Amino acid sequence: MITIRHRKGVFKLIKRFLILLTISSVLVGCSSEKKEKGPGLGNRNQPKEEEASLSSVEQLDKILQNSIKESNVLLSQFNKSLDGFYTGNTSNSQFATVVSGIVNDSHELVSSVEKEDVDPTVFELQQKLVAHLNQQHGLFLNAVDMANQEKVNKDTLRNTYLEIKQEQAAIMNGWNNS
């Protein structure tokens, strides 16, 4: 039995596929290269293209879901450590140690998403995700640098954290509504 939640997910995936298919069709139609077709045969590769586009959407969806999940883990660790710094429960050196560990995990996350070989139809969306993850990584690097210099600007870190969370929500809402 298919639940309503599952059905909505299937409809969203189909909707994304159709949007990508439409974009792909427009791009192919605007191409300067003319493809030769036999009389009345149409495009023999159309089913393969549709299958490739659906696969591309599914691949990017998996990358996006996993990346945002890992991103949330890192941001949660950072936020908890920053809260401890505000309350005085975390020292400069403790904050630097925690965030240094986050930096290593963040670097791995950025690298893994950058390495993904995605279809050109979803490349722009992947690059938007990479830019977001790099911005997040920059937050962690700045926090470690501030802590090592014992000049932590908590308000700057908190505001940057909030901006990153808002951008993350915008990325997910844009993806879920496409």
pLDDT, tens digit, for every residue of 13-47? 445 544 443 444 433 344 444 333 333 333 444 45
What is the per-residue DSSP string for the chain? ---HHHHHHHHHHHHHHHHHHHHHHHHHHT-SSPPP--TTT--TTHHHHHHHHHHHHHHHHHHHHHHHHHHHHHHHHHHHHHHHHHHTSS-HHHHHHHHHHHHHHHHHHHHHHHH----GGGHHHHHHHHHHHHHHHHHHHHHHHHHHTT---HHHHHHHHHHHHHHHHHHHHHHHT-
Whether pLDDT at 105 is above 60 = yes
Instruction: Tell me the whole-structure pTM to 2 decimals.
Output: 0.70
